[in-house]
């Protein structure tokens, strides 16, 4: 039975350094480019899940994905089946939120089904 996915938003305030650096292994909800038009657009075209593999901070950076000034370069693994043309590095400005710990296993099971089946 589907479970409700809870996302802790980053819209208003970017989390503290400790939270961002502690995000390795967590699943982020990341803004991607969706196309607006007269036809209804599935929410998934605007947002994708990605697992955090690493976080780097070397002062002020320019994000290659969104072109924003950033303090963090976050290396991610996109959900299975999604290929981002800008690659696998985002910044804190690209992130919509983090999947709450109670929803983590559920999201992981369908976002990376081949990995889940191998366990």
| Residue-level pLDDT at 79 | 94
Residue 55 lies in a domain: yes
- What's phi and psi for 109, nearest 5 deg? -65, -35
Please give the distance of CA 116 from its chain centroid, rounded to a whole number: 19
Reported as type and span, the H/E element at residue 62 is strand 61-62
User: What are the 10-residue block averages of pLDDT along the chain, 119 residues in total?
Assistant: 78 78 92 68 77 91 88 94 90 90 88 73
Kindly state whether residue 1 falls inside one of the protein's structural domains: no
pLDDT for the residue 60: 84
Does a structural domain hold residue 99?
Answer: yes
Domain range for residue 32?
7-118
Element (H, E) at 53: strand 47-56
Task: Say if 111 falls within a structural domain.
Answer: yes
Query: How many independent structural domains does the chain possess?
Result: 1
**54: in domain:** yes
In a domain, residue 25? The reply is yes
- Determine the pLDDT at residue 117: 56
pLDDT attached to residue 58:
81
- Flag whether 2 is in a domain: no
Tokens of 3: 């479970």
Does residue 40 form part of some domain?
yes
Quote the pLDDT of residue 75. Answer: 96
């Amino acid at each position: 039975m589907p479970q409700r996915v809870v996302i802790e938003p980053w819209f208003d305030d970017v989390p503290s350094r400790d939270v961002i650096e502690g995000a390795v292994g967590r699943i982020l909800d990341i803004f991607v480019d969706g196309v607006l038009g007269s036809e209804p657009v599935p929410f998934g075209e605007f947002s994708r899940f990605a697992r955090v593999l690493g976080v780097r901070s070397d002062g002020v950076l320019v994000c290659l994905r969104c072109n924003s000034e950033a303090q963090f370069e976050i290396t991610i693994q996109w959900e299975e089946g999604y290929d981002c043309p800008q690659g696998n590095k985002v910044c804190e400005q690209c992130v919509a939120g983090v999947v709450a710990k109670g929803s983590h296993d559920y999201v992981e099971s369908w976002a990376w089904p081949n990995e889940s089946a191998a366990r």
